Amino acid sequence: MAPLAQGTKVLTEGGQDKVFQNTFEIPPGEKLLKAYACYLSSSTGPVIGTLYLSNKRLAFCSDNPLCQYSPSGQQQWMYHKVVLLLDQLSTVSPYSNMLNPSEKYILVVTRDGCEFSFMGFISYDKALKNKNEALQHLQPHWDNDMVRNIPVQ
């Protein structure tokens, strides 16, 4: 059902580029390269949404608003968004669950040590390849240690 809702949104707004522009503030010179339906792992469980890869950043937005509470206890419905500048990333690592190798994730770590796990890609290998190409084009001095396989127990 979620891919159908996402497809409808993309059609009604005029394509992935328009959805990206309407969801995030786009600085001059930024260009959307790819968009992927996937899940973001969070402390409350996986959040379904779209991961956008541009020439400047990775950006994720949930498909549906999530209920959050303000410090005063007021209920708020907000989209879950994550924006990571490509030049602030430390590593992008594919890994899989050792007990269930079909569970594949992409771990993104920022230079300040924040970690984000994305999973449930329709085409995991293509998503990983495109992210690596974008990052290596941006940071040609990165060595092969930036991208590595990490088994998870």
**Using the 8-state DSSP alphabet, how is residue 101 labeled?**
T
pLDDT in tens, 25-74: 888 999 999 999 999 998 889 999 999 999 999 999 999 998 888 889 99
Q: How far apart are CA 102 and CA 143, in angstroms?
A: 28
| Domain architecture of the chain: domains with CATH | 2-136 (2.30.29.30)
pTM over 0.85: no
Mutual angle of helices 2-13 and 16-23, in 10-degree steps: 90
Q: How far apart are CA 18 and CA 1, in angstroms?
A: 22
- pLDDT for 6: 54
